[in-house]
Amino acid sequence: MHSKVDPAILDETRLKALRETRLLDSLNEEQFDRLTDLICKLLKVPVALVSLVDKDRQFFKSQQGLPEPWKSKRETPLSHSFCQHVVSRKKPLIISNAPGDPLVKNNLATTELNVTAYLGMPIKSPNHEIIGSICAINRIPHDWTKEEIDIMMTLAEFTITEIRLRHELRTKEKTEYKLRKANEDLKAFSYMASHDLRAPLSTVIGLIHILKDEQNNGVASDKAQNLIKRILMASKHMSQLISDSSKYINITNEPESISFEHISLKDPLEDAINNLDQVIKENNARISIPEELPLIRGIRSLMAELLQNLMANAIKYCREKPEVVVSTTETNGQISILIKDNGIGISENCNGSIFIPYKRLHSAKEFNGNGLGLAICKKIVQLHSGDISYQSSPGKGSTFIVKLPQPKNPVDNR
């Protein structure tokens, strides 16, 4: 009956916190049963409870020594509850002799369940609402000692910690589930983009080529030719954007799911230079690489992608004959790969934003690109447990520095 229940018991925030623990009407659990068992043994009492005080009942998450039918029901109405007073008064309740105590002498627990001495400590939810009580009960009068009170306080702390840990675990699982779901959605989108969007785009590019040839055969106006050229460029840009976006999304964040190998840095570096062959020739660029290159632990194709992106930028962001110098150093268990250019440099106030996906410091008119190259580099480096940074003086060139952990057992190269 609500009219007799203390307003603190009916407080909505408290009841919400209680429901959120998901302990109401849950099964018996060893962690809580061990606590009530311990109370009975340490305090030498016949009854111990972990009681959660709901709006019209107390539910026993754990109980020792209750008579039937309460033992099987695992709850009583509030008419039979001392624990409700721990909640409403927001503090421990210490009763030595219930029949002589004005607060509880008419409580049905005193008259029907023979509760005589009671020692109850508040149990709090993770957001500090008092949701119930952990208590020791004696059927004969008893003056609770300081030691007994201290033991109950400690056991209440254990109960609170157990409830908090469960809450944290649930929150973590929920966040992980959401992240996994978002990642799956992103991958599905990237799959759709790279297949379903690219196919019609390739058709468009093919058709524009045919149209261009047709125009070349006939008498096409300069304006028409210019328009065709621009459509072609925009389509190629879009196609590159789709493939780079899906490349970015598909580089995993989970090193555990990948088998790394010990490889010489020479291999991915040569792959990168071969892939850039045309760009190097077109720009008359000079690339110098050291004779000796260290062994690293990584994935060859991704390392090649990383070096290729950095060298391509070194060539692209340059207004004179590009000179790219690759060097390496090894110190303190760490390998540094330096890619130095003689390009335009990077403005001081960009604050490292160049590693953010789609972030560009230049317009497409100045330098072609989509702002994904360095974001891809960063993801690759992070997957290899490394770090990427740069040093630059505007107008004088930049040096990109990739730091990787030195491989531990190069002999286990499998």
Q: Does 346 bind ligand ADP (CB under 6 A)?
A: yes
Q: Does 344 bind ligand ADP (CB under 6 A)?
A: yes
With respect to ligand ADP, which residue has the nearer C-beta, 96 or 243? 243
Torsion of CA 405, 411, 413, 414, to 10 degrees: -130
- Scanning 60-68, 122-130, 245-253, 354-362 for contacts with ligand ADP by CB under 6 A, the matching segment is 354-362
Q: Does 322 bind ligand ADP (CB under 6 A)?
A: no
Strands 323-331 and 387-393: unpaired
Question: What is the full DSSP assignment across 274-312?
Answer: HHTHHHHHHHT-EEE--SS--EEEE-HHHHHHHHHHHHH
d(CA 294, CA 350): 32
Out of 135, 137, 302, 314, point to the residue binding ligand ADP (CB under 6 A): 314
For 25, phi then psi, to 5°, come to: 60, 20
Q: Rule CB under 6 A: which of 194-213 touch ligand ADP?
A: none
Question: Would you give the binding string for ligand ADP spanning residues 359-398, x where CB under 6 A is met?
Answer: -xxx------xxxxxxx----------------------x
Count the residues in the chain: 414
Out of 21, 64, 245, 313, point to the residue binding ligand ADP (CB under 6 A): 313
- Scanning 79-87, 91-99, 247-255, 342-350 for contacts with ligand ADP by CB under 6 A, the matching segment is 342-350
Nearest to residue 39, comparing CAs of 130, 121, 143?
121
- Scanning 63-71, 105-113, 160-168, 356-364 for contacts with ligand ADP by CB under 6 A, the matching segment is 356-364
Q: Does 306 bind ligand ADP (CB under 6 A)?
A: no
Number of residues that bind ligand ADP (CB under 6 A): 20
Let me know if 158 is exposed, middle or buried by CB neighbors in 10 A (0-12, 13-18, 19+). Answer: middle
Q: What single DSSP character describes residue 80?
A: G
Nearest to residue 263, comparing CAs of 304, 291, 308?
304
Closest distance to ligand ADP from the beta carbon of 195 (Å):
23
- Scanning 32-40, 75-83, 84-92, 309-317 for contacts with ligand ADP by CB under 6 A, the matching segment is 309-317
With respect to ligand ADP, which residue has the nearer C-beta, 235 or 264? 235
d(CA 227, CA 211): 11
With respect to ligand ADP, which residue has the nearer C-beta, 120 or 345? 345
Closest distance to ligand ADP from the beta carbon of 318 (Å):
8
Nearest to residue 124, comparing CAs of 114, 116, 134, 115?
134
Distances (CA, A) of 362 to 167, 173, 317, 320: 48, 42, 10, 17
Contact positions toward ligand ADP, by CB under 6 A?
Answer: 313-314, 317, 341, 343-346, 354, 360-362, 369-375, 398
